[in-house]
């Protein structure tokens, strides 16, 4: 009985290793066949309690903003759109609301990793749930960081503010990546995708098998995963 269980476990492990591109020994990731897509908040940037406190203190439309965010939170996860589409409704002080929505600062350790990947020749893409107004707000705050990206795909009004709970989000992101990479003469066989939400990684891979999901927990952990893929 024990031997049979061992055989099942060994067989299952082999199947996982063979079918999961992260662990496949036959896959070689190069700047000529692979690009890297990365989530923004809590990966490239990190939450700043000080900025959140300052943003809330300065916001004039606190009641409307809180009501809007509650509407977002009480919407089922499967039906939620980008939080920006809720939070900015009936808000006159939009800049301060955007500051409160995005109380983040660059994660310098992650920026160094991105710079190292760029130096190796990899194209880097931003793939984020933040809305187009939040993107513009963050880009204006940190132009050097956003200058590292070869392309950006974020939620927008033109696509109905869909987010990463919708397969279409990843289809759109992959299309943008193919277009930008194609201009540089790259045929994208692999999209190495770094995100801090496992559900996002699973849906991306289910939507387009070129997505190779890497879960982000911390800098040390993601560095090891990138090294395992031969990217560092």
Same domain, 88 and 203: no
Q: Cβ–Cβ contacts within 10 Å for residue 41, how many?
A: 19
Q: Tell me the pLDDT tens digit for each residue of 101-127.
A: 999 999 999 999 999 999 999 999 999
Q: What does the pLDDT average to over 173-197?
A: 97
Q: Tell me the pLDDT tens digit for each residue of 63-97.
A: 999 999 999 999 998 899 999 999 999 999 999 99
Q: Which domain holds residue 67?
A: 48-101
Q: What does the pLDDT average to over 14-19?
A: 42
Same domain, 58 and 37: no
**Among the listed residues 147, 148, 37, 138, the one whose alpha carbon sits nearest the alpha carbon of residue 84:** 138
Q: Is residue 26 over pLDDT 90?
A: no
What residues are paired with 124 via a beta bridge?
36
Same domain, 62 and 92: yes
Taking the C-alpha atoms of residue 113 and residue 223, their distance in angstroms, rounded to an integer, is 8
Same domain, 52 and 38: no
- Number of domain units in the chain: 2
CATH number of the domain residue 33 falls in? 3.40.50.1000
Q: Spell out a b/e string for 155-181, using b for 16 or more CB atoms within 10 Å of the CB, else e.
A: bbeebebbbbbbeebbebbbebbbebb
Confidence at 171, pLDDT banded by 50, 70, 90: very high
Question: Of 101, 128, 144, which residue is a domain's last?
Answer: 101
Question: Of 101, 116, 141, which residue is a domain's last?
Answer: 101
Q: In which residue are the tokens 């999961």 written?
A: 20
Q: Is there a domain that residue 14 lies in?
A: no
Q: Spell out a b/e string for 207-220, using b for 16 or more CB atoms within 10 Å of the CB, else e.
A: bbebbbbbebeeee
Same domain, 72 and 116: no
Q: Which two tokens stand for residue 58?
A: 């300065």
Same domain, 187 and 208: yes
Same domain, 96 and 134: no
């Amino acid at each position: 009985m024990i031997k049979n269980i061992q055989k099942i476990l060994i067989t299952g492990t082999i199947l996982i290793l063979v079918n999961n591109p992260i662990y496949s020994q036959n896959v070689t990731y190069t700047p000529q066949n692979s690009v890297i897509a990365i989530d923004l908040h809590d990966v490239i940037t990190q939450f700043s309690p000080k900025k959140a406190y300052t943003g809330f203190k300065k916001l004039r439309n606190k009641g409307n903003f809180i009501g809007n965010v509650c509407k977002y939170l009480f919407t089922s996860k499967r039906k939620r759109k980008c939080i920006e589409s809720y939070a900015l409704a009936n808000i006159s002080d939009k800049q301060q609301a955007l500051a409160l929505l995005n109380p983040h600062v660059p994660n310098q350790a992650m920026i160094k990793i991105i710079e190292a990947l760029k130096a190796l020749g990899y194209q880097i893409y931003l793939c984020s749930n933040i809305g187009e107004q939040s993107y513009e707000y963050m880009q204006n705050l940190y132009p050097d960081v956003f200058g590292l990206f070869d392309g950006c795909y974020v939620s927008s009004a033109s696509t109905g503010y869909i987010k990463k709970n919708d397969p279409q989000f990843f289809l759109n992101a992959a299309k943008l990546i193919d277009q930008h990479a194609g201009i540089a003469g790259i045929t994208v066989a692999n999209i190495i995708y770094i995100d801090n939400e496992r559900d996002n990684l699973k849906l991306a891979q289910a939507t387009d098998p070129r997505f190779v999901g890497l879960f982000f927990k911390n800098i040390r952990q993601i560095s090891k995963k990138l090294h395992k893929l031969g990217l560092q």
